[in-house]
Structure 1
Amino acid sequence: MSGIGPEHCLSCGSYRDLGFLRRPSESAIMDIKKLKGCASLEAIRILVLDSLRSLGHLRSLRHAYSKVVAQAEDTIAEAFVRVGEFKRAMLHCKESIEIIEKLYGTNHIVIGHELLKLVSIQLSLGDRSSAVCDIERLGTIFSLYYGSHATIIFPYLGDLKREAGSSEA
Protein backbone atom coordinates (compact mmCIF):
# COMPACT_ATOMS: atom_id res chain seq x y z
CA MET A 1 0.00 0.00 0.00
CA SER A 2 1.28 3.44 -0.89
CA GLY A 3 0.27 5.09 2.39
CA ILE A 4 -1.32 8.03 0.62
CA GLY A 5 -4.82 8.91 1.67
CA PRO A 6 -6.84 10.47 4.44
CA GLU A 7 -5.00 10.56 7.76
CA HIS A 8 -1.65 9.58 6.18
CA CYS A 9 1.45 11.76 6.31
CA LEU A 10 2.24 13.06 2.84
CA SER A 11 5.98 12.79 3.48
CA CYS A 12 6.44 9.40 5.11
CA GLY A 13 3.06 7.72 4.61
CA SER A 14 2.52 6.93 8.31
CA TYR A 15 -1.10 6.56 9.40
CA ARG A 16 -2.64 8.49 12.31
CA ASP A 17 -6.23 8.16 13.48
CA LEU A 18 -6.75 11.88 13.86
CA GLY A 19 -10.20 11.69 15.43
CA PHE A 20 -8.98 9.36 18.17
CA LEU A 21 -5.84 11.41 18.84
CA ARG A 22 -7.43 14.85 18.94
CA ARG A 23 -8.64 15.01 22.54
CA PRO A 24 -5.50 13.65 24.27
CA SER A 25 -3.33 15.79 21.99
CA GLU A 26 -5.27 18.94 22.88
CA SER A 27 -5.02 18.07 26.57
CA ALA A 28 -1.22 17.74 26.35
CA ILE A 29 -1.00 21.03 24.44
CA MET A 30 -3.07 22.83 27.10
CA ASP A 31 -0.81 21.47 29.86
CA ILE A 32 2.24 22.88 28.07
CA LYS A 33 0.56 26.22 27.32
CA LYS A 34 0.05 26.77 31.07
CA LEU A 35 3.75 27.63 31.19
CA LYS A 36 3.23 30.73 29.04
CA GLY A 37 0.89 32.50 31.46
CA CYS A 38 2.73 31.55 34.61
CA ALA A 39 4.37 34.43 36.48
CA SER A 40 5.81 32.61 39.48
CA LEU A 41 9.20 30.96 39.04
CA GLU A 42 8.29 28.31 41.60
CA ALA A 43 5.07 27.52 39.73
CA ILE A 44 7.05 27.25 36.47
CA ARG A 45 9.42 24.76 38.12
CA ILE A 46 6.45 22.62 39.12
CA LEU A 47 4.59 22.99 35.82
CA VAL A 48 7.65 22.24 33.70
CA LEU A 49 7.79 18.70 35.11
CA ASP A 50 4.17 18.11 34.10
CA SER A 51 4.88 19.75 30.77
CA LEU A 52 7.75 17.37 30.07
CA ARG A 53 5.39 14.43 30.62
CA SER A 54 2.84 16.09 28.36
CA LEU A 55 5.52 16.68 25.73
CA GLY A 56 6.38 12.97 25.78
CA HIS A 57 2.70 12.14 25.42
CA LEU A 58 2.31 14.69 22.62
CA ARG A 59 5.30 13.22 20.79
CA SER A 60 3.66 9.78 20.96
CA LEU A 61 0.42 11.18 19.51
CA ARG A 62 1.68 13.58 16.86
CA HIS A 63 3.93 13.12 13.87
CA ALA A 64 7.63 13.51 14.67
CA TYR A 65 7.78 16.66 12.54
CA SER A 66 4.61 18.31 13.78
CA LYS A 67 4.56 22.09 14.08
CA VAL A 68 2.61 21.62 17.32
CA VAL A 69 5.47 19.57 18.80
CA ALA A 70 7.97 22.23 17.70
CA GLN A 71 5.89 24.92 19.43
CA ALA A 72 5.69 22.78 22.58
CA GLU A 73 9.48 22.34 22.55
CA ASP A 74 9.87 26.09 22.18
CA THR A 75 7.49 26.80 25.08
CA ILE A 76 9.38 24.40 27.33
CA ALA A 77 12.71 25.93 26.28
CA GLU A 78 11.39 29.37 27.26
CA ALA A 79 10.26 28.01 30.64
CA PHE A 80 13.70 26.56 31.31
CA VAL A 81 15.28 29.91 30.45
CA ARG A 82 12.95 31.65 32.90
CA VAL A 83 14.09 29.36 35.74
CA GLY A 84 17.76 29.63 34.74
CA GLU A 85 18.23 26.06 33.43
CA PHE A 86 20.00 27.07 30.23
CA LYS A 87 21.39 23.65 29.27
CA ARG A 88 17.93 22.11 29.32
CA ALA A 89 16.57 25.15 27.49
CA MET A 90 19.19 24.74 24.78
CA LEU A 91 18.27 21.08 24.22
CA HIS A 92 14.58 21.92 23.75
CA CYS A 93 15.40 24.92 21.57
CA LYS A 94 17.54 22.72 19.31
CA GLU A 95 14.74 20.13 19.14
CA SER A 96 12.32 22.84 18.06
CA ILE A 97 14.73 24.06 15.37
CA GLU A 98 15.28 20.53 14.08
CA ILE A 99 11.54 20.03 13.60
CA ILE A 100 11.07 23.44 12.00
CA GLU A 101 13.92 22.73 9.57
CA LYS A 102 12.05 19.62 8.39
CA LEU A 103 8.89 21.66 7.92
CA TYR A 104 10.27 24.81 6.32
CA GLY A 105 13.82 24.11 5.15
CA THR A 106 17.14 25.13 6.63
CA ASN A 107 17.17 28.78 5.51
CA HIS A 108 13.59 29.80 6.25
CA ILE A 109 13.03 33.02 8.17
CA VAL A 110 11.35 31.08 10.99
CA ILE A 111 14.69 29.31 11.55
CA GLY A 112 16.39 32.71 11.80
CA HIS A 113 14.08 33.81 14.58
CA GLU A 114 14.55 30.53 16.44
CA LEU A 115 18.32 30.87 16.05
CA LEU A 116 18.11 34.21 17.85
CA LYS A 117 16.71 32.39 20.87
CA LEU A 118 19.36 29.68 20.61
CA VAL A 119 22.19 32.21 20.40
CA SER A 120 20.99 34.03 23.51
CA ILE A 121 20.94 30.71 25.39
CA GLN A 122 24.41 29.79 24.10
CA LEU A 123 25.80 33.14 25.21
CA SER A 124 24.22 32.67 28.64
CA LEU A 125 26.04 29.34 28.88
CA GLY A 126 29.30 30.89 27.69
CA ASP A 127 29.30 28.72 24.54
CA ARG A 128 30.73 31.43 22.33
CA SER A 129 32.04 29.20 19.53
CA SER A 130 28.59 27.70 18.90
CA ALA A 131 27.04 31.14 19.18
CA VAL A 132 29.42 32.54 16.53
CA CYS A 133 28.46 29.76 14.08
CA ASP A 134 24.76 30.27 14.68
CA ILE A 135 25.05 34.07 14.44
CA GLU A 136 26.70 33.67 11.03
CA ARG A 137 23.89 31.37 9.92
CA LEU A 138 21.35 33.79 11.35
CA GLY A 139 22.96 36.66 9.44
CA THR A 140 22.84 34.65 6.22
CA ILE A 141 19.14 33.84 6.67
CA PHE A 142 18.20 37.43 7.51
CA SER A 143 20.20 38.69 4.53
CA LEU A 144 18.30 36.29 2.25
CA TYR A 145 14.98 37.73 3.41
CA TYR A 146 15.84 41.37 4.09
CA GLY A 147 18.89 41.98 1.90
CA SER A 148 21.01 44.96 2.82
CA HIS A 149 18.27 46.12 5.21
CA ALA A 150 18.94 43.22 7.58
CA THR A 151 21.38 45.27 9.65
CA ILE A 152 18.87 48.13 9.85
CA ILE A 153 15.98 45.86 10.86
CA PHE A 154 18.14 43.85 13.26
CA PRO A 155 20.79 46.30 14.53
CA TYR A 156 21.62 44.02 17.46
CA LEU A 157 23.19 41.41 15.13
CA GLY A 158 26.45 43.32 15.27
CA ASP A 159 26.21 43.45 19.06
CA LEU A 160 25.65 39.69 19.17
CA LYS A 161 28.71 39.12 16.98
CA ARG A 162 30.82 41.32 19.21
CA GLU A 163 29.46 39.64 22.36
CA ALA A 164 30.15 36.16 21.00
CA GLY A 165 33.64 37.09 19.88
CA SER A 166 34.57 39.24 22.87
CA SER A 167 36.10 36.51 25.00
CA GLU A 168 37.74 34.63 22.14
CA ALA A 169 41.37 35.47 21.79
Structure 2
Amino acid sequence: MSRNALILHGTGARPEWLWYSWLGSRLRERGYDVVVPHHPGINVDPLADVLPQVLAHRFDEETVLVGHSGGAALLLAVLERLEVAVAQSVLVAGYSTPPNDGTEPALQTTYDWPAIRRSAGDLWFVNSVTDPYGCDAEQGRAMQRRLRGTLVVRDDPAPGAGTQLDPRHFEADTLELVDRLIP
Protein backbone atom coordinates (compact mmCIF):
# COMPACT_ATOMS: atom_id res chain seq x y z
CA MET A 1 0.00 0.00 0.00
CA SER A 2 1.38 3.42 -0.90
CA ARG A 3 0.86 6.70 0.87
CA ASN A 4 -1.78 8.89 -0.68
CA ALA A 5 -3.06 12.41 -0.15
CA LEU A 6 -6.29 14.19 -0.95
CA ILE A 7 -6.22 18.00 -0.99
CA LEU A 8 -9.60 19.75 -1.02
CA HIS A 9 -9.69 23.36 -2.16
CA GLY A 10 -11.86 26.01 -0.58
CA THR A 11 -15.14 27.53 -1.66
CA GLY A 12 -15.08 28.82 -5.21
CA ALA A 13 -11.45 27.80 -5.69
CA ARG A 14 -9.71 25.51 -8.16
CA PRO A 15 -6.93 22.93 -7.70
CA GLU A 16 -4.39 25.07 -9.56
CA TRP A 17 -4.97 28.14 -7.39
CA LEU A 18 -3.23 29.23 -4.20
CA TRP A 19 -0.92 26.58 -2.69
CA TYR A 20 -2.85 23.40 -3.53
CA SER A 21 -0.83 22.22 -6.53
CA TRP A 22 2.44 23.31 -4.89
CA LEU A 23 1.68 21.15 -1.86
CA GLY A 24 0.63 18.31 -4.14
CA SER A 25 4.02 18.50 -5.91
CA ARG A 26 5.89 18.53 -2.60
CA LEU A 27 4.02 15.44 -1.41
CA ARG A 28 4.62 13.64 -4.72
CA GLU A 29 8.35 14.29 -4.24
CA ARG A 30 8.02 12.40 -0.91
CA GLY A 31 6.37 9.44 -2.57
CA TYR A 32 2.69 10.23 -2.09
CA ASP A 33 0.03 9.52 -4.70
CA VAL A 34 -1.74 12.89 -4.66
CA VAL A 35 -5.19 13.88 -5.83
CA VAL A 36 -6.16 17.56 -5.94
CA PRO A 37 -9.61 17.27 -7.47
CA HIS A 38 -11.83 20.06 -8.66
CA HIS A 39 -15.09 19.90 -6.77
CA PRO A 40 -16.81 23.14 -7.80
CA GLY A 41 -19.79 22.31 -5.59
CA ILE A 42 -17.79 22.53 -2.35
CA ASN A 43 -19.80 24.79 -0.05
CA VAL A 44 -22.05 25.78 -2.95
CA ASP A 45 -24.17 22.70 -3.60
CA PRO A 46 -25.96 20.78 -0.85
CA LEU A 47 -23.63 18.56 1.17
CA ALA A 48 -25.63 15.49 0.07
CA ASP A 49 -24.66 16.23 -3.56
CA VAL A 50 -20.94 16.85 -2.95
CA LEU A 51 -20.18 14.26 -0.30
CA PRO A 52 -20.54 11.15 -2.53
CA GLN A 53 -18.05 12.64 -5.01
CA VAL A 54 -15.46 13.11 -2.28
CA LEU A 55 -16.15 9.76 -0.62
CA ALA A 56 -15.42 8.06 -3.96
CA HIS A 57 -11.72 8.83 -3.43
CA ARG A 58 -9.35 6.30 -1.85
CA PHE A 59 -9.12 6.30 1.95
CA ASP A 60 -6.92 3.99 4.01
CA GLU A 61 -4.51 4.08 6.95
CA GLU A 62 -1.86 5.71 4.70
CA THR A 63 -4.11 8.59 3.57
CA VAL A 64 -3.39 12.23 4.39
CA LEU A 65 -6.29 14.66 4.07
CA VAL A 66 -5.85 18.41 3.67
CA GLY A 67 -8.75 20.80 3.40
CA HIS A 68 -8.77 24.58 3.13
CA SER A 69 -11.69 26.73 4.27
CA GLY A 70 -14.89 25.21 2.78
CA GLY A 71 -12.82 22.11 1.93
CA ALA A 72 -11.84 21.81 5.59
CA ALA A 73 -15.48 22.08 6.66
CA LEU A 74 -16.29 19.35 4.15
CA LEU A 75 -13.55 17.16 5.65
CA LEU A 76 -15.51 17.00 8.91
CA ALA A 77 -18.42 15.35 7.07
CA VAL A 78 -16.02 13.04 5.22
CA LEU A 79 -14.25 11.97 8.42
CA GLU A 80 -17.57 11.33 10.12
CA ARG A 81 -18.47 8.78 7.43
CA LEU A 82 -15.17 6.95 6.95
CA GLU A 83 -14.89 3.38 8.15
CA VAL A 84 -11.10 3.57 8.34
CA ALA A 85 -8.75 5.79 10.30
CA VAL A 86 -6.57 7.85 7.98
CA ALA A 87 -2.97 8.73 8.84
CA GLN A 88 -3.43 12.49 9.13
CA SER A 89 -5.99 15.26 8.69
CA VAL A 90 -5.05 18.93 8.31
CA LEU A 91 -7.83 21.53 8.40
CA VAL A 92 -6.54 24.91 7.22
CA ALA A 93 -8.83 27.86 8.04
CA GLY A 94 -11.39 25.26 9.03
CA TYR A 95 -14.63 25.79 10.89
CA SER A 96 -17.49 23.74 12.33
CA THR A 97 -20.10 26.46 12.88
CA PRO A 98 -21.17 29.27 10.54
CA PRO A 99 -18.15 31.58 10.36
CA ASN A 100 -20.06 34.53 8.88
CA ASP A 101 -23.49 35.55 7.59
CA GLY A 102 -23.10 33.62 4.32
CA THR A 103 -24.66 30.28 3.55
CA GLU A 104 -22.49 27.29 4.42
CA PRO A 105 -23.77 24.13 2.69
CA ALA A 106 -20.60 22.25 3.72
CA LEU A 107 -21.65 22.42 7.36
CA GLN A 108 -23.93 20.01 9.15
CA THR A 109 -26.15 21.11 12.01
CA THR A 110 -24.66 18.40 14.25
CA TYR A 111 -21.61 16.14 14.09
CA ASP A 112 -20.70 12.76 15.49
CA TRP A 113 -17.49 14.07 17.07
CA PRO A 114 -16.30 10.65 18.36
CA ALA A 115 -16.66 9.19 14.84
CA ILE A 116 -14.65 12.08 13.37
CA ARG A 117 -11.97 11.62 16.04
CA ARG A 118 -11.71 7.89 15.30
CA SER A 119 -11.16 8.54 11.58
CA ALA A 120 -8.97 11.66 11.68
CA GLY A 121 -5.58 10.17 12.56
CA ASP A 122 -2.95 12.78 13.47
CA LEU A 123 -5.20 15.84 13.52
CA TRP A 124 -4.06 19.43 12.91
CA PHE A 125 -6.05 22.66 12.88
CA VAL A 126 -4.41 25.73 11.34
CA ASN A 127 -6.21 29.01 11.96
CA SER A 128 -5.26 32.67 12.19
CA VAL A 129 -6.07 35.19 14.88
CA THR A 130 -8.35 37.24 12.64
CA ASP A 131 -9.62 35.53 9.53
CA PRO A 132 -11.58 37.89 7.22
CA TYR A 133 -14.19 35.18 6.60
CA GLY A 134 -14.63 34.14 10.23
CA CYS A 135 -12.54 30.94 10.01
CA ASP A 136 -10.48 32.23 12.91
CA ALA A 137 -8.68 30.90 15.96
CA GLU A 138 -11.95 30.57 17.89
CA GLN A 139 -13.21 28.16 15.23
CA GLY A 140 -9.98 26.18 15.57
CA ARG A 141 -10.28 26.10 19.37
CA ALA A 142 -13.89 24.90 19.17
CA MET A 143 -12.89 21.98 16.93
CA GLN A 144 -9.85 21.15 19.06
CA ARG A 145 -11.99 21.04 22.24
CA ARG A 146 -14.22 18.43 20.61
CA LEU A 147 -11.60 16.46 18.70
CA ARG A 148 -8.28 17.02 20.47
CA GLY A 149 -5.43 17.23 17.98
CA THR A 150 -3.00 20.12 17.59
CA LEU A 151 -4.03 23.69 16.96
CA VAL A 152 -1.62 26.08 15.24
CA VAL A 153 -2.74 29.69 15.65
CA ARG A 154 -0.97 32.14 13.43
CA ASP A 155 -0.69 35.81 14.34
CA ASP A 156 -2.10 38.02 11.65
CA PRO A 157 0.59 38.67 9.04
CA ALA A 158 0.63 41.83 7.00
CA PRO A 159 -1.62 41.70 3.94
CA GLY A 160 0.12 40.47 0.78
CA ALA A 161 1.80 43.37 -0.97
CA GLY A 162 0.42 43.93 -4.45
CA THR A 163 -1.90 40.92 -4.34
CA GLN A 164 -5.52 40.23 -3.47
CA LEU A 165 -4.54 37.05 -1.64
CA ASP A 166 -5.11 37.27 2.08
CA PRO A 167 -2.57 35.50 4.32
CA ARG A 168 -5.01 35.68 7.25
CA HIS A 169 -7.16 33.12 5.39
CA PHE A 170 -4.08 31.13 4.37
CA GLU A 171 -4.43 32.09 0.73
CA ALA A 172 -0.85 33.35 0.57
CA ASP A 173 2.32 32.69 2.55
CA THR A 174 1.10 29.29 3.72
CA LEU A 175 3.21 26.85 1.77
CA GLU A 176 5.95 26.00 4.21
CA LEU A 177 3.65 25.95 7.23
CA VAL A 178 1.34 23.27 5.82
CA ASP A 179 4.23 21.41 4.17
CA ARG A 180 6.03 21.01 7.52
CA LEU A 181 3.01 19.35 9.12
CA ILE A 182 3.00 16.37 6.75
CA PRO A 183 5.83 13.81 7.05
TM-score, normalised to structure 1's length?
A: 0.30
Higher share in helix: 1
TM-score, normalised to structure 2's length?
A: 0.29
Higher share in strand: 2
In our comparison, the structure showing a higher alpha carbon Rg is 1
